[in-house]
Structure 1
Amino acid sequence: MHIAEGFLPPGHAVAWTVAAAPFVVHGARQVVKLAKDKPESRLLLAAAGAFTFVLSAIKLPSVTGSSSHATGAGIGAILFRPPVMAFLATIVLIFQAVLLAHGGLTTLGANVFAMGIVGPWAAYATYRALRGIRVGETVAIFVAVAVANIATYATTSVQLALAFPDPATGLVGAFAKFAGLFAVTQVPLAITEGILAVLLFRTLARIATRELTMLGFRADTRVKEANHV
């Protein structure tokens, strides 16, 4: 999700920034509203932001010569809903661009769209669908976070393919090329991120039961499932 500074053509960079901006503004309003209406949730918000920052800051080399990252945004989307993560991911990506040279300011819109919008919505939709058919909570979290990871990188692959279509096979060929570069390391990384998200949730289930219940998670089911995973 960290497209490098200056890598996208100016028109594409501007277009992705315009596309991401409404989600980020809405997310900022939701964060302010959540902190005001449920001040007890501030600690969990901070934990979700820190989890996203730490995981997405770890740059793993790929055997294909590319690199892969976890996103960390899926669990936050499940806890607080996707709009909140659009704002938190933006803050995370700005800090990483400025302090760690991961991503860039010109490509911020594209990176936010992939990691802060598509990924969280994929996680939340998957989680709600699985819970709707009575899949266990921790299993639903694992699958949802893994799906969010893959969805983020699929979006990045689309962004790169749109910017640099293959001369022979066009957009489809370029997407296959970029997605293939990421896939070797991204699939196991998505599984690993899903496991880490479950471990984080198990920890929160023990130390922040009241806060999770306030957010709509059933304490009895949560604790029972967390203790058996």
Structure 2
Amino acid sequence: MHIAEGFLSPMQCAAWYAVSAPFVIHGARAVIAQSRRSPENRMLLAAAGAFTFVLSAIKLPSVSGSSSHPTGTGLGAVLFRPPVMAFLGTVVLLFQALLLAHGGITTLGANVFSMAVVGPWVGYSAFLLTRQLGASPAVAVFMAMFFADMATYCTTSLQLALAYPDPSSGIAGALGKFLGVFAITQVPLAVMEGLLGVVIFGFLGRVAPQDLARLGIRTTTSKELQHA
């Protein structure tokens, strides 16, 4: 998912920075507000960021010749809402670019938009929708993690298609090719990430139901997750 240095033109890099910046600024304010409102949740906030860092740093070879990895942003989106993950995801991507050569500084705006903006919002929307349809918390958490992961890769595919349109079929043709590169490996990874999310939320439901309640996740939900 992480677009490396040199893959986007300077104009495209600047455009993605401009698109991502408002979300990151709003997210920074949300993190500050969350920390002031519930200082007891700071450790859980840090854990959500660390979870995203670890999962998104795992590179797995793809059968299509690329590499893939989970994203981990769905967890934080459900716990703290998507704006918070825009900031946390940016911090994660910045450290990965500087310390792991995973991604890049010039392409940071594009990577932030796909993994820290689109992914969390899609994942959180899937969580809310499935809950409103009467699905169990376990199913809702699974859907949040799954769709946050897949939305990130679909967005990255679109970003690359805009940068490298197919000579004959244009952006649409390039999009199909880039999706094909990622999809074979990413679908099972997204499923595994969803299952991992269910396990983690079940654990939180057992050891920290009060923390979940402070975050607006009903105690009954956390109890259901214990038995998921």
- TM-score normalised by structure 2 residue count: 0.98
**Does 2:214 match 1:214?**
yes
Deviation of 1:156 after TM superposition, in Å, equals: 0.1
Q: Distance in 1 between matches of 2:97 and 2:205?
A: 33
State the secondary structure of the residue aligned to 1:187: helix
Deviation of 1:220 after TM superposition, in Å, equals: 2.7
* Residue deviations 1:68-118 (CA, integer Å, cap 9, x gap): 111000110011110000000000000000100100000000000000000
Q: Distance in 2 between matches of 1:217 and 1:17?
A: 33
**Does 2:210 match 1:227?**
no
State the secondary structure of the residue aligned to 2:162: helix
Equivalenced residue count is 228
Check whether the contact 2:123–2:145 (CA below 8 A) recurs between aligned residues. Answer: yes
Q: Distance in 1 between matches of 2:184 and 2:221?
A: 36
Check whether the contact 2:86–2:116 (CA below 8 A) recurs between aligned residues. Answer: yes
Name the structure 2 match of 1:52: 52
Q: Distance in 2 between matches of 1:227 and 1:160?
A: 41
Q: Distance in 2 between matches of 1:16 and 1:69?
A: 22
Letter in 1 for 2:107: T
* Residue deviations 1:175-207 (CA, integer Å, cap 9, x gap): 000010000100000001101111111111122
State the secondary structure of the residue aligned to 1:166: coil
Give the superposed CA RMSD.
0.8
Name the structure 1 match of 2:142: 142
Q: Distance in 2 between matches of 1:113 and 1:173?
A: 22
Q: Distance in 2 between matches of 1:97 and 1:227?
A: 37
Q: Distance in 1 between matches of 2:116 and 2:212?
A: 22
Name the structure 2 match of 1:12: 12
Q: Equivalent residues in 2 for 1:9-158 (5 A)?
A: 9-158=9-158
> Any unmatched runs of 5+ in structure 1?
none
* Residue deviations 1:23-44 (CA, integer Å, cap 9, x gap): 0000000000100011111111
State the secondary structure of the residue aligned to 1:216: coil
Deviation of 1:227 after TM superposition, in Å, equals: 3.0
Overall identity of the aligned pairs, in %: 61
Q: Distance in 2 between matches of 1:221 and 1:45?
A: 20
Task: List 4+ stretches of structure 1 deviating above 6 A.
Answer: none
Deviation of 1:226 after TM superposition, in Å, equals: 2.1
- TM-score normalised by structure 1 residue count: 0.98
Deviation of 1:57 after TM superposition, in Å, equals: 0.3
Check whether the contact 2:212–2:222 (CA below 8 A) recurs between aligned residues. Answer: no
Q: Distance in 2 between matches of 1:203 and 1:105?
A: 36
Q: Distance in 2 between matches of 1:23 and 1:73?
A: 15
Letter in 2 for 1:171: I
Name the structure 1 match of 2:186: 186
Deviation of 1:119 after TM superposition, in Å, equals: 0.3
Check whether the contact 2:89–2:115 (CA below 8 A) recurs between aligned residues. Answer: yes
Letter in 2 for 1:137: P
Deviation of 1:222 after TM superposition, in Å, equals: 1.8
Letter in 2 for 1:132: Q
